[in-house]
Structure formats: structure tokens, C-alpha cells
Structure 1
Amino acid sequence: MGDIVNHPQELDEETLFLVSQTFKALSDPTRIRILNLLFTREYSVNEIADALNLRQSTVSHQLRFLKNLRLVKYRREGTTLYYSYDDEHVMDMLKQTIEHSIHS
């Protein structure tokens, strides 16, 4: 490293809120399980509920939380919504954290 000292930029209130909400989203085991499942492909609410042995209402609630943070997105096919992840940065962070936890 040279003589230049890098100082983190000051964060505005909106950025602080969004960062804290993202970490809040990743602090819940059910949301982590859902996001981890979405690494592989898109899933409907029922498929997520079946794969993770959760109630459909629980999955819907968690997906709504994740969607509001733009961590997941959906597409409609007929009457079915298919969910996938929407933020590569957060998914990379989640993957690295999982790998770190397994490695430790």
C-alpha cells in the first residue's frame, strides 16, 4: 500500500438504512434458507414451501420482505409467481459467508 490513506465515505441516512435492512434480511435463518435455495433456479411459493418444509404463508411473508428490499424478484406464469434472486452482490456476500462458516 502506498502513502494514500483510504477513508470510507460518509454514509447518508438512506444508505445506512438500506445496509442495515440488508443485514437484517440476512440475519433470519428462514430467509437465508430461501435465498440459498434460489441460488440454483427460480421457484414458486409452493415449491419453496415443499423444498424447505415450511408453510406457504411463512414463505410468502418472507418473500414479501425480501422483495421489498429488492433481494428477490418474480415473474408471473399464468396464476403462478416464480421467484429468483435479484441482487448478485448480496448473493455473493451470502455465498462467501456460507463458505466462511463451513470453512471455519
Structure 2
Amino acid sequence: MSHRFGELWTVQLGDREEVRLIVTGDFYHTLYGDNVLTAFVVEADMAHALTAFVVDLGAGRAAMVDRISTVAASRLKDKVGDLPETQLAAVRGMLATIFGLTG
């Protein structure tokens, strides 16, 4: 299954599915190629209340870039969207700030 930085995927977690933003790639990766780092997607109001590292996804949803978890690539089910090019730079900047990375 092919996935890349900035894509939105549904992730199967037990008996439920969640939408997550893929953040693996440009800045950070695990030692295992079958793992993917994803940012949690929640209601936009909740995301803005919880953190400053938020990317609005439209339709009342937002990704919390500092709320990241590792999921097995086999749990990625369906690609449901892509971040616009203008937002990719913002996410990269947030990740750089969070992880202390420099370009």
C-alpha cells in the first residue's frame, strides 16, 4: 500500500475507523517500514482548543500535528484526501518546530 506525507487515510483501530493525516516522511520515520506516523483528526473547535499546531481540513475537521501516533501500514484502509500544496509547507514547519528539526 502506497502512502505519502500529507495524505488523509481512514485507519482501522479495532472496531472503529478514524481519519488520520500521514506525517511520516520528510522529517521523521521509524526503524520499521511497515509503520506510519499519523496525526489525529478531530473536530476543528476541539483541535484549536487543545493545541496551536492545527491544520484545518475543511468540513469542520482539523489535524492536530503535535498529536501523533504510530500505526501499522496494514491498518490504512482508504485514502480520503490530500492536503493542498499551500498547507504542506505549514505542516512541515509545525513538525520542524515540534521535533526541533532544521532544514
Higher strand share: 2
Q: Which has the higher contact order (CA 8 A, sep 6+)?
A: 2
Structure ID, larger Rg: 1
TM-score, normalised relative to structure 2:
0.30
TM-score normalised to structure 1 length: 0.30
